[in-house]
Structure 1
Amino acid sequence: MAVVIRMPAYRPPSARPSRPSLLSLLLTRLRDRSPGLAASLLGGAIAAGLGLGFFSVLVMALWVSSPYPDSGPGGALHLVAALWLLAHGVELVRSDTLSGAPAPVGVTPLLLLLLPALLLYRGAKDAVDAPDGDDADAPPPVRARTAWTGVVAGYLGVGGCAALYASGGELRPAWGWVAVCLPLLATAAAGAGVWTAYGRPREPLLRLAVVLPGPVRQLLTGRDTRVRWGTAFRASLAGVAVFFGGGTLLLAVSLVAHGDTAWASFLQLTEGWTGRFAVLLLCVSLIPNAAVWSASYAVGPGFALGAGHVVNPLAADPAPLLPPFPLLAAVPADGPGMPVNWLAGAVPVAAGLTMAWFVVGRAAGRRWSAGRTAGVMTLAALLCALLLAALAGLAGGPLGVAALSRFGPLWWQTGAATGAWLLAAGVPAALLLRFWRGLSLASFAAWLGFGKQKPGEEQSAEKPKSDATSAPAPTAVAALLSDQGDGDTFELYEALSLEPYEVLPSAPPPGAWEDEAARKARWAALREASEPSDRPDGS
């Protein structure tokens, strides 16, 4: 028995089918499972690139126009990367100092912080690519998790490269701050953009509430939760706006009062127009920081101009020798606080009244009780205190070592004082406003004791006669009976246990309508009202 073994036909290497590589399989699977990831990565990288481009144009323009540049183009580009990281809250370390010891630079210009936050927010919102409501043929939006992950990963990739490049310059980033601030800002701003693109849904917030303790979860997911938290959040934003506006007003008044000192310090810093323009840009970028410092001054804790040198409305410690700077000219003079300094306390009072107005406006529309109104106002006060504490933490920081290791307000003191002011001024104001708005003129007169008329008193002749055909049945009967003026009217009121001139209830007490005397009086009144009058005056 012969065994036949069939050998496969020989194929040249060019005719053999190519086997896909492992990398191509992974990329294909990733593309199929996460459509839109590449566009989201590109959107995050573009957002970071736009921020770096803005700082590059600004710094390079000042470097080119400067008559005495200290370094070449490489030093200017290192400064660009360092400033971009500083705008994210990253603390920098200055290595070139007179003492040779590295000095930290941790004061973040709040105006520069808005740029990366807005770019990330817009990039994440565009990465979702949600179709309009009228376009039915548009592709579906990118998944929220995919868009958020892609934007954050693309942004952090460019940010990591910028941090590596900045580490070779004179202003070097502290890697601990890079690992915290960059991801924190990227995740928060990108998450807000994706959440807005999807129409601000409530479900992601409820999923986050599962990890919270039971009492806190009940507070977050109770009845009427969205309205209460939305009202408290809007009121807290209004309070922060009042604090920021009040702080800016205090800063402007103090700068005007010390205008000569501020102008002299501005001219003393540099002589060329390029340097003065750079100082002016620095002052403008630090105005929000100075406004937060003034708000902290208004609530009580104040701010520090170096370690152990605190400035508040009650007293101002003598500050160490500081370089001339226009915004520092607005600092109050050394010594105990004067009554004019105590007027800064009007800022937290105005913030509490504004928040109470916002809360009561929603409470009146939804008929909230006094307890719920006070609870929402308390929640708004706590949210406003947290927001102002976060701003105080960002607005301050070190500018060196030893005496310059602390500059600006202390965040936890500012937050605690803000919460105390708002609770003391806002909660009673909310309750009083609720009482005032719910108090009509008639109820106010009744509360004073002028609203009732006793039986037997003659009714005023100027009272217009009620329309029995258009008024409801109980109101029409009461109006007809009130025009009779005889004793039958008051007998019916006594049978129904009512005061005169009040509206009859829709369901009278049992047995009242069955009373024979009441029934006769009622029909007699209706008959006389329906018959034409024989009086010459037609009444």
Structure 2
Amino acid sequence: MIQMTARRPSLSSLLVRLRDRSPGLAAGLLGGAVAAGLGLGSLAMLVTLLWISSPYPDSGPGGALHVASALWLLAHGAELVRADTLSGAPAPVGVTPLLLLVVPVWLVHRAARDAVEGGEEEVPEVSGGTAWAGVVLGYLGVGAAVALYASGGELRPDWVWTAVCPPLLVMGAAGLGVWTAYGRPREALDGALVLLPAGPRRLLLGGGGRARLVVAARAAGAGATVLAGGGALLVGVSLVWHGGAMRASLLHLTEGWSGRFAVLLLCATLVPNAAVWGASYALGPGFALGAGHMVNPVSSAPASILPPFPLLAAVPEAGAGGWANWAAGAVPVAAGVTVGWLVGRAEPAGTQGWSRGRTAGVAGLASVFCAAGVAVLSALAGGRLGVATLARFGPVWWQVAGAALLWIAGLSVPTALVLRAWGRRERRARSERAVEPATRAAEGGRRFSSPWCAVGAWLGFQKVGEAGGGGTGTATGTPLMPYGGAYDQDDDVYRPLLAQRDTPFEPYDPLPAEPPRPQQPPSRPPHSPWWPDDADGEDPPGP
């Protein structure tokens, strides 16, 4: 018997290891399958409800389920192929509703997090790799079955897009869920940042690099939010401006209330896409409404043949843009100022602050992050809606990313530097104000914060503390008169002042506002020849 044979594990030990590991993998598989089933079931229920309420059902429940399966794949970024076209040639459908994209991401993230936690205990019982693999395999297993079923309908999945986009989405969301379950450890990010070049790596991993990275990420998120919110505002204003055309397109598409409800529901799922389109319009590159037809603030040239849809009715008219179109440039200005404001005001407490170079570097890094996020959103918000003219629909991601980088970096860097200088000036002023009272007290209270305070104190109108804590006076504004002569401790005038030694006043309490009351005259001595004996005040008798 050789050494390797002697160390070979027995079958019982392998069964024990498999039994110990199988619950975590099985829980991950089950969680992934349940997450896929929840997303698919919600879409199937909605489509079936619309099919039941439709006055003109073209197919049976099987057709409704095929449509639901195709929409589920479209929500994962896969492109569909529509076979029932007027020309007979298949037409692609590649615009992913971003609101539907949120549902599978959230479900997979939650399934992976629950698979790692494995219960209500604080310490995770399942390794991250096992939970991640189980959730991904379980979800993609259901996805493969759904893709096979949807291939028999009128909306068929494109196999290249189906093989690439859903797996990437599921793996990314599951990895994020596992990272969240372990408390978002920074070691995973440090391992990725080591691959960067020397300059960016020194900026991110040097002294305080993690804090700068967090500040840049938060500022970039705020800038992207301002861009998306501004784009949504532009879309809303345009919808109100073109309200008549929008209503006409809605009435032209369908006649029944169920069909109109379905169209409005589709518009609601495309509202995030419209917000990204509005942001790209505000940034300058605009978006494409057909191959060779761009719409931007400078000029608008939409395609002459567009499908009647309420959101497309809000597109600006063809021709050169006016002042109302140019006013959209306020959106990237607000985003750049927001990023610079957050970077300039995010100076760490208890330190001397960042240098000019580091402040500008953090603002530039936030601009890069913001441009990358806008590029991803632009790529997801657009796509193809057909062939020939409709082959390009939506923003061009690399143009939008470049414009966002120029806008955000050009505004955030000077804003952050100005706020940094202003913050250092405020801190310097606060430190001087903190030292100034002690300096005034050492100089006898003769310094004042301004000439007006000095004049007020000289006239006797200034109260205690208004001159920086160094002046002298009473609470009513009456200045104390100096007394340079000696005094006797038995004097009646200074006896009340000496009695204050035993009172619980603080050393810096002001003196009493009112002067001491005069003492009563001493009682007359008995049988005095110079004082009347009677009470009626008669003169004393002569000698």
Relative to the length of structure 2, the TM-score reads 0.76
Q: Does 1:282 align with 2:282?
A: no
Q: Please point out which of 31, 55, 72 is paired with 1:84.
A: 72
Q: Does 1:375 align with 2:398?
A: no
How far, CA to CA, are the matches of 1:280 and 1:407 in structure 2? 20
- Taking only aligned residues, the RMSD between alpha carbons, in angstroms, comes to 2.9
Q: Does 1:341 align with 2:325?
A: yes
How far, CA to CA, are the matches of 2:116 and 2:154 in structure 1? 39
* DSSP-derived class of the 2:156 partner: strand
How far, CA to CA, are the matches of 1:441 and 1:162 in structure 2? 62
Contact 1:364 1:438 in 2 (8 A): no
The alpha-carbon deviation at position 153 of structure 1 amounts to 1.1
The alpha-carbon deviation at position 34 of structure 1 amounts to 5.8
Q: Deviations over 1:433-490 (max 9, x none)?
A: 222222239759x9xxxx9xxxxxxxxxxxxx96xxxx6xxx5xx84355699xxxxx
Q: Does 1:422 align with 2:382?
A: no
- Could you tell me which residue of structure 1 aligns to residue 463 of structure 2? none
The alpha-carbon deviation at position 215 of structure 1 amounts to 4.4
User: Which of the two has higher C-alpha Rg?
Assistant: 2
Q: Does 1:177 align with 2:161?
A: yes
- Could you tell me which residue of structure 1 aligns to residue 371 of structure 2? 385
- Could you tell me which residue of structure 1 aligns to residue 385 of structure 2? 399
How far, CA to CA, are the matches of 1:396 and 1:27 in structure 2? 51
Q: Deviations over 1:495-533 (max 9, x none)?
A: xxxxxxxxxxxxxxxxxxxxxxxxxxxxxxxxxxxxx96
- Could you tell me which residue of structure 2 aligns to residue 505 of structure 1? none
Structure 1 residues 140 and 299: alpha-carbon distance in aligned structure 2, compared to 1, 3 A threshold: closer
Q: Does 1:96 align with 2:81?
A: no
Q: Please point out which of 264, 268, 271 is paired with 2:248.
A: 264
Contact 2:344 2:415 in 1 (8 A): no
Q: Please point out which of 442, 459, 463 is paired with 1:480.
A: 442
Structure 1 residues 410 and 535: alpha-carbon distance in aligned structure 2, compared to 1, 3 A threshold: farther
How far, CA to CA, are the matches of 1:441 and 1:149 in structure 2? 52
Contact 1:34 1:146 in 2 (8 A): no
- Could you tell me which residue of structure 1 aligns to residue 539 of structure 2? none
Contact 1:364 1:434 in 2 (8 A): no
Q: Deviations over 1:171-190 (max 9, x none)?
A: 11111111211111111111
The code of the aligned residue for 1:289 comes to: N
How far, CA to CA, are the matches of 2:297 and 2:160 in structure 1? 36
Q: Which runs of 5+ in 1 are unaligned?
A: 1-20, 452-464, 486-531
The alpha-carbon deviation at position 130 of structure 1 amounts to 6.1
Q: Please point out which of 277, 285, 291 is paired with 1:301.
A: 285
- Could you tell me which residue of structure 1 aligns to residue 60 of structure 2? 72
The alpha-carbon deviation at position 222 of structure 1 amounts to 2.4
The alpha-carbon deviation at position 30 of structure 1 amounts to 3.3
- Could you tell me which residue of structure 1 aligns to residue 209 of structure 2? 225
Contact 1:270 1:276 in 2 (8 A): yes
Q: Please point out which of 171, 190, 200 is paired with 2:184.
A: 200
How far, CA to CA, are the matches of 1:484 and 1:291 in structure 2? 63
Alignment of 1:447-526 (within 5 A): 479-480=441-442
Alignment of 1:157-168 (within 5 A): 157-168=141-152
- Could you tell me which residue of structure 1 aligns to residue 101 of structure 2? 113
The code of the aligned residue for 2:347 comes to: A
Contact 2:336 2:411 in 1 (8 A): yes
Contact 1:242 1:347 in 2 (8 A): yes
Alignment of 1:131-170 (within 5 A): 140-170=124-154
The alpha-carbon deviation at position 219 of structure 1 amounts to 4.0
Contact 2:290 2:302 in 1 (8 A): no
How far, CA to CA, are the matches of 1:227 and 1:403 in structure 2? 48
Which runs of 4 or more aligned residues in structure 1 lie more than 6 Å from their structure 2 counterparts after TM superposition? Answer: 24-27, 535-539
Q: Please point out which of 40, 44, 47 is paired with 1:56.
A: 44
Q: Deviations over 1:289-338 (max 9, x none)?
A: 11100100000000011001100000011422112211111111110111
- Could you tell me which residue of structure 1 aligns to residue 467 of structure 2? none
- Could you tell me which residue of structure 2 aligns to residue 40 of structure 1? 28
* DSSP-derived class of the 1:438 partner: helix
Contact 1:86 1:92 in 2 (8 A): yes
Q: Please point out which of 330, 333, 340 is paired with 2:314.
A: 330
The alpha-carbon deviation at position 47 of structure 1 amounts to 0.5
Equivalenced residues, count: 443
- Could you tell me which residue of structure 2 aligns to residue 125 of structure 1? 113
Q: Using the aligned pairs only, state the percent identity.
A: 61
Relative to the length of structure 1, the TM-score reads 0.77
Structure 1 residues 480 and 212: alpha-carbon distance in aligned structure 2, compared to 1, 3 A threshold: closer
* DSSP-derived class of the 1:191 partner: helix
Structure 1 residues 535 and 195: alpha-carbon distance in aligned structure 2, compared to 1, 3 A threshold: farther
Contact 1:130 1:197 in 2 (8 A): no
Structure 1 residues 359 and 102: alpha-carbon distance in aligned structure 2, compared to 1, 3 A threshold: same
The alpha-carbon deviation at position 242 of structure 1 amounts to 0.5
The alpha-carbon deviation at position 71 of structure 1 amounts to 1.1
Structure 1 residues 372 and 131: alpha-carbon distance in aligned structure 2, compared to 1, 3 A threshold: farther
